[in-house]
Amino acid sequence: MRAVRTHRGPAGDAARRRGRRRPTGGTPGDGARPRALRAVPGVRHGGAVTLPDVIPVFPLPNVVLFPQIVLPLHIFEPRYREMVRDAARGPRLIGMALMREGWQQDYHGAPPIFTTGTVGEMVRMEELPDGRFNIVLRGLREFVVQRELRRRAYREAVVIWHAPHAGTLPSGMREGITALVRLYIERLGQEAGDEGPLGAAADDETFVNFFAHHLDVPPVEKQALLEAATLAERAARLRDVLEFRLEELRLPPGGAPRRTH
């Protein structure tokens, strides 16, 4: 899903702050075309990934990962290469956290981060000839950082895990969001099909998280969606963001309402 980038939106604890995009220790997507990404099995018991109390934390200024979402990353900074190697030898888990405003002043140390993030299971990994990595994470569960540890070059944290988002959305909410997404895509001059999350196959959590992740809004607004206490609250915030974007698309440059007659 593509969308125009804007710089206003519903305010929340996170949505009032803005992150800036700058080069960091890793980037979304592939920095070099992988020759052969290999699967990396997770540590599972009865089909579920075991979630430990301590995880590596990979902060970025422009990425918010959601559960059930797949995220490709290119890892190039030495400390985060070490993180990937250690993760591959262990439970294959990496926590993603969004940097707070002002991260540039302490990037090579420990810049401030939002304490709510999502852990991803490393399901694909390729080491490039120069030691960089292309990896793919699959979002598993939200966490809250309790305290950070200072024992490795990369960041680690003791975390508390959110309970899984169980149940379904309130009646009519999914249909309402679907209608808003279709209208939003059409306003952008694109075509909305019935495949993927707009279809009926995706469960409610995947449906909401897909659009929360792919909607082209500033990272701090995505962080506000991630921080929602329940899936229904996240869906309601997503609906508000979509309505706001649709209203923006109705306004010409300068903000004056368009004439309808």
Each residue of 166-186: pLDDT tens digit?
778 999 999 999 999 999 888
* Superfamily holding 26-161: LON domain-like (2.30.130.40)
- Inform me whether the pLDDT recorded for 121 exceeds 90: yes
Domain parsing of the chain, residue ranges: 26-161, 173-250
Residue 186: its pLDDT value, please? 87
The secondary structure of residue 2, as a DSSP letter, is: -
Residue 202: its pLDDT value, please? 85
Q: When comparing pLDDT for 256 and 139, which is higher?
A: 139
- Inform me whether the pLDDT recorded for 235 exceeds 50: yes
- Inform me whether the pLDDT recorded for 230 exceeds 90: yes
Angle at 184 (CA atoms; ends 182, 185), nearest 5 degrees: 65
What is the distance between the alpha carbons of residues 15 and 215, in angstroms, rounded to a whole number?
14
**In the Cβ-directed half-sphere of 256, how many Cα atoms lie within 13 Å?**
3
- What mean pLDDT value characterizes the chain? 81
Residue 259: its pLDDT value, please? 44
N-term to C-term CA, the chain = 32
Contacts of 181 (CB under 8 A, 6+ apart): 1, 192, 198, 211, 242
Question: What pLDDT digit, counting tens, does each position of 84-107 carry?
Answer: 999 999 999 999 999 988 756 666
What is the distance between the alpha carbons of residues 181 and 214, in angstroms, rounded to a whole number?
11
Instruction: Tell me what the mean pLDDT of segment 157-173 comes to.
Output: 92
Point out the least confidently predicted range of 50-54, 134-138, 143-147, 192-196. 192-196
- Look-up of token digits 């190039």: 76
Instruction: Tell me what the mean pLDDT of segment 59-81 comes to.
Output: 95
Instruction: Tell me what the mean pLDDT of segment 236-256 comes to.
Output: 81
Question: What pLDDT digit, counting tens, does each position of 24-59 carry?
Answer: 567 676 444 333 444 444 444 445 678 999 999 999
Residue 166: its pLDDT value, please? 78
What is the distance between the alpha carbons of residues 195 and 104, in angstroms, rounded to a whole number?
40
